[in-house]
Structure 1
Amino acid sequence: MPDHGFAHVTVARSRDRRFRPEIKPHVTGRRRRVSVVDGIRTTGPINTFIDCAGWLSFIDLVILGDALAKKFGISAAQLVRACRESTDYYSGRAAVAAEFVRDGVDSPMETRLRLLIVLAGLPEPVVNFRTYHEDGTWKRRFDLCYPGIKVIIEYDGRQHADSVEQWNADLKRREEFDDEGYRILVVTARGIFREPERTLERIRRLLISRGMIGVPPIDPAWREHFAA
């Protein structure tokens, strides 16, 4: 998360309020679920998500929601319900972002890539898709996948292979995908931060070429959240 610049401190009584540099004090009579982190009493994950809706961008808020879901075992459905039921000031904005939170997301860049696709109006890929051996044991996990047309969208944070062994392992893995009929489209950080439009065009062309029916044109709404 981006640094806010202030530590927010909430107390239950006005006389306990203190004004200090880089501290923003609040007073509330509402009950708050409290977590203890490194000996410090903090707001619980869901209240923190709602509070952060007041200053985080939409993209960063969804990234936070995905991370909270994974770290604390809060399902996306639970987060949506909690935001809708909350009467906190930023609960409405939080509820909108919560609708885009998904279970099982592994990284902020995976969230960014999925949101780029979805906000452009393209079909949403399945998150955390798994394949299994014939005996039912787990075989592979894909971050973003279109199972019906066997397309994998993969974010790769490495600018080059970490080692010869890693390079060979990647080649073997992709050969196995080819044998099973999967097509992999790899996206790097450049494809998200510097060339998002090209990334969207690559994805749309691949979906169409693999036989997906009714792929819509790219919606320019994505530009509100990603630099073109």
Structure 2
Amino acid sequence: MRSELPPADTLRDRALRYLPRLREGERFSHATALALLGCPIRVPKGQPVDVSSPARIGRVSCAGVTGHRHSTPARHHLCLSPDYDFDIPVSDPLHAVREAALALPFPELVVALDFLRFRDPRRYDPYLYVSPGDLARSVTEVTGRGAVRFRAAVALAREGAESRMETLMRLAGARAGMPELRLQAELHDAEGRWIGRFDAVDDKTRSAFEYDGEQHHTSRRQRRRDPRKHQAARDAGWRLMVFYQENLLDDPVGAGRRMLSFSGRPGQPVRPSLARLLDERSGDGTESAVPFTGFGVQHDPLR
């Protein structure tokens, strides 16, 4: 174990503080496992650390920890972290989403799944990836409480969202009945020249949607590049709508309706049960479960 650890400001940090106390066979579970895996979810402020123990040794009961039990053997994942020289035992990534299905607001489940589906060469843990086949198997295996929520989240998960806010932008469109969008779309002009990559596009109406995050303002290079990219897309016949933090957090339903109106598409029917799930929110009494890295990929601290 390395001597220097970050302050215990997030659920992930609190879990790292508790790590030396794990007993043989125990692992981090539920939202805590997702935090250690790097999922940019939001949790209640000061949320206790989730620790799951095998039945033979009994569950943990102490301040700052919520104890759980798991069967033996049970699926687990050895998480790699730059803060430690050895692996950290956590629930299998998809099992952790299932464990958290009742505790987290529904959009957080989709945020976690999008993160797990995204291939990012900059991740410290190169083994962390959930394939479409993994998702398909998990849907057939899940039972019990939270199964309906988990299956609905899997149905909405997509590969290509590079940040929490990109996932929330896509879910805002889904809530309004927006047809499926192509994510991380590479656009070219009529001569085949590359214009750039856009967060989400509707090819049929040549509508492009972008989330303008903090890195767009703090990175001088990106601040200069974005206007050129956007103008080139317009010159090539694409229409562009840019969303900011307040658009997606303060009025996600309105943001989705704006996407639909902007594209000119008729809205697809949204089942009332799915609409209720998508309307769930992480309120002001929440915090990011992971530290903000300033990296721009998925670790977005916004609610």
Question: Where on the TM-score scale, by shorter chain, does this alignment land: which range?
Answer: 0.7 to 0.9
Tell me how far 1:200 sits from its aligned partner: 3.3
* Contact residue 9 and residue 26 of structure 1 kept, 8 A: yes
Secondary structure, in 3 states, of the residue corresponding to 1:103? coil
Matched residue type, 1:49? V
Structure 2 vs 1, CA of residues 224 and 66 (structure 1 numbering), >3 Å: closer, same or farther? Answer: same
Amino acid in the other structure paired with 1:122 = M
- Measured after TM superposition, the shift of residue 159 of structure 1 is 9.7
Q: Which moved more, 1:68-77 or 1:148-157?
A: 68-77
Residue equivalent to 1:3: 43
C-alpha distance in 2 between matches for 1:19 and 1:55: 19
Alignment match, 1:225: 280
Q: Which residue of 1 aligns with 2:75?
A: 33
Q: Is the 8 A contact 1:116 1:226 kept in 2?
A: no
Q: Does 1:87 align with 2:143?
A: yes
What residue in structure 2 maps to residue 24 of structure 1? 66
**Matches of 1:29 and 1:186 in 2, distance apart?**
47
Aligned in 2, Cα 1:129/1:123: closer, same or farther, shift over 3 Å?
same
- Structure 1 equivalent of residue 247 of structure 2: 191
Identity %: 25
Deviation at 1:16, TM superposition (A): 4.1
Query: AA paired with 1:66?
Result: D
Cα deviation digits, residues 176-201 of structure 1 (max 9, x gap): 11221111100111111224354334
Measure the CA separation in 2 of the matches of 1:161 and 1:12: 48
Deviations 1:9-54 (CA, angstroms, capped at 9, x unpaired): 2222344433212222233335322222343321111111111112
Higher relative contact order (CA 8 A, sep 6+): 2
* Contact 1:80–1:99, Cα closer than 8 Å, also in 2: no
Matched, 1:55 2:95: no
Query: What TM-score comes out, normalization by structure 2 length?
Result: 0.62
Contact residue 176 and residue 267 of structure 2 kept, 8 A: no
CA distance in 2 between counterparts of 1:73 and 1:14 reads: 31
**RMSD (Å) for aligned C-alpha atoms:** 3.3
Aligned length: 223
Q: Specify the SS of the correspondent of 1:59.
A: helix
Could you tell me which runs of 5 or more consecutive residues in structure 1 were left unpaired when the two chains were aligned. none
Equivalent position SS for 2:174: helix
- Measure the CA separation in 1 of the matches of 2:238 and 2:117: 29
Q: Distance in 2 between matches of 1:75 and 1:136?
A: 32
After superposition, what is the alpha-carbon deviation per residue over 1:111-167, rounded to whole angstroms, capped at 9, x for unaligned? 111101101222232222234689999763221100122110111124984477644
TM-score after normalising by structure 1: 0.80
Q: Structure 2: give runs of 5+ residues left out of the alignment.
A: 1-40, 120-127, 283-303
Deviation at 1:77, TM superposition (A): 5.2
Q: Does 1:111 align with 2:167?
A: yes
Mapped partners of 1:88, 1:215: distance in 2? 33
Shift of 1:91: 3.0
For 1:138 and 1:33, the matched residues in 2 are separated by: 44
Q: Which amino acid aligns with 2:237?
A: G
Q: Supply the distance in 1 between the matched residues of 2:253 and 2:42 (Cα, whole angstroms).
A: 25
The aligned amino acid for 2:202 is Y
Give the partner amino acid of 1:90: G
